[in-house]
Amino acid sequence: MKNILQKMGVSSNLLSQEEQGFLRENGYLNLGKLLDNASLQVIRNRVNEILEAEGENAGAELMQSPSIRHPKESGACRLGDLVNKGEAFDIFYTHPKVLAAIMLVLGEQFKLSSLNYRAALPGAGLQKLHVDWPESIQNQEFKVCNSIWLLDDFYIENGATRVVPGTHLKPTLPADVMNDPMDSHPDEKIILAEAGSVVIFNSHTWHGGTTNHSTQPRRAIHSYFCKRDQVQQTDQSKFIKKSTLDRISKEAAFVLGLEESE
């Protein structure tokens, strides 16, 4: 996969030594604003088109995939399988700097697990502190890593994501040491960032949404990756459309897990 990543412009040099050290030590990293305002508006418009078109069936793919099985959230709007829903979403699994950060966490053998949209609605969004793996990880053999692409500014009032730095290196999970993982943690940090920013999360780091006290949804797209030998949340071999394959490069298809050999 190294050659494929190189063809996509992915290199560890895209991250500064400071960024690499911060991600390794803290388990998350704000890469800054990678989407300009024009690109943001195109993506928001496309999301709105899909939400209108899918109506009550929005996010149906999340129920169909046996490895996700997200129940419908009364406090959130969701969309699934964005890989197949337009060119506007291609950047979410091909951006070189994002892939460089994923590679730092997972190594060179990784693939996209799922590409979904989630918007925490006003008065909702609070999640327990959790990790995205069923058990703690030993020897830093991390299995999953997420990138959160902010379609709105993230700030305290609208329920920005919280993270407990360094917990990806601990042998315990939130439920092991907290009376109630819904509670605040004394070491948690709130991710404050402008729309267009991308935050990388080692998904073994304790994290969760907070309550949206604003009057507008807090929108984001989650580009979630796993080690190449893991089961995808969205099995692209079953969901992929010919129109998508005709549009994207062979390298991008490989990141989707569609080619098992170079």
189-190 sheet: strands from edge to edge: 189-190, 162-163, 207-208
Domain ranges of the chain: 2-255
Provide CATH code, domain 2-255. 2.60.120.620
> What is the rounded average pLDDT of the residues 124-141?
94
Residue 159 has pLDDT above 50, yes or no: yes
Q: Give the helix/strand (H/E) hosting 136.
A: none
Q: Where does the pLDDT of residue 261 fall: very low under 50, low under 70, confident under 90, or very high at 90 and above?
A: very low
Going by the DSSP 8-state scheme, the letter that residue 232 receives in this structure is P
Q: What is the mean pLDDT of residues 99-112?
A: 98
Query: 77 phi and psi, to 5 degrees?
Result: -100, 140
What pLDDT is attached to residue 65?
Answer: 56
Share of the chain above pLDDT 70, in %: 94
Rounded average pLDDT over 152-181: 97
Average pLDDT, the chain: 94
What's the confidence (pLDDT) of residue 73? Answer: 62
pLDDT mean over 192-217: 98
CA quadruple 23, 99, 69, 47: dihedral sign: positive
| Of 88-92, 186-190, 258-262, the least confident | 258-262
Handedness of CA 253, 254, 257, 258 (dihedral sign): positive
pLDDT at position 71, please? 52
Q: Is 0.85 topped by the overall pTM?
A: yes
pLDDT at 123: 97
Look at residue 72 and tell me whether its pLDDT is greater than 80. Answer: no
pLDDT surpassing 80 at residue 46? yes
pLDDT at 59: 84
Q: Which residue has the tokens 């989630």?
A: 118
Residue 64, pLDDT > 70, answer no
